[in-house]
Amino acid sequence: MVPKTLGELFDAFHREAFRLETLDDYSRSGNVDAYQAFLAGEPQPANYNEAWVSEIRSHTSRGKRVYRVHILSRPLTPYLRFELGWGYQKNATGGEQFFILDTTEQPNPLEGVPDFWCFDSLTPAVMNYAEDGSFLGAGILPDARADEFRTYRDTAMAHAVPLPEWWAKYGE
């Protein structure tokens, strides 16, 4: 069976799942209550994002790689402070790897490239968002487009630094 949804792609990948994030604010796409708690200065709940961490762990414990690059510039938006400080730090406990492509002092080498996932370097899924940042769904592209998205991934990784290194320098 050929996967037709993002969930099916997650269930079916064998080696790696790569994500490129390009937005400064995903607050209308999930974790709304947690984001509000973060903004209110509340401590991060111990079980925050536990379902995703378990999902990631189910893959990384079997030797699969799940990793992402977020393109951003400083100063960080409130949402990015939340995502990097709460989300990425928590997700890393499940084995997900994070990289930052900081365009504050350099041009964005991927200007205009959409958010996407690419599974096993073969199947790209473009993440679609409304103007207000609400998630509209994923468009699974034909494997024939994989070369284009592998090039985007490779470009992102060539210009990104590991989150721990970036966070030590710029984290808030």
Q: In this model, does residue 169 exceed pLDDT 80?
A: yes
Q: What is the mean pLDDT of the chain?
A: 93
- The pLDDT of residue 17: 98
Q: What is the CATH number of the domain that holds 80?
A: 3.30.870
In a domain, 34, yes or no: yes
Q: What is this structure's pTM?
A: 0.94
Q: In this model, does residue 165 exceed pLDDT 80?
A: yes
Q: What is the pLDDT of residues 55-113, one digit of tens each?
A: 999 999 999 999 999 999 999 999 999 999 999 999 999 999 999 999 999 999 999 99
In a domain, 10, yes or no: yes
Counting DSSP H helices and E strands in the chain, the numbers are 7, 7
* Amino acid found at 29: S
- Residue 17 has what DSSP assignment? E
3 state SS for 63-117: CCEEEEEEEECCCCCHHHHHHHHHHHHHHHHHCCEEEEEECCCCCCCCCCCCCEE
Q: In this model, does residue 43 exceed pLDDT 60?
A: yes
What average pLDDT does this structure show over 117-140? 93
Q: How close are the terminal C-alpha atoms of the chain, in Å?
A: 45
Q: In this model, does residue 2 exceed pLDDT 70?
A: no
In a domain, 1, yes or no: no
Nearest residue to 127 via CA among 49, 17, 39, 12: 17
Instruction: Report residue 131's pLDDT band, with 50, 70 and 90 as the boundaries.
Output: confident
Domain that includes residue 107, residue range: 6-170
In a domain, 151, yes or no: yes
**Counted domains in the chain:** 1
Percent of the chain with pLDDT over 70: 98
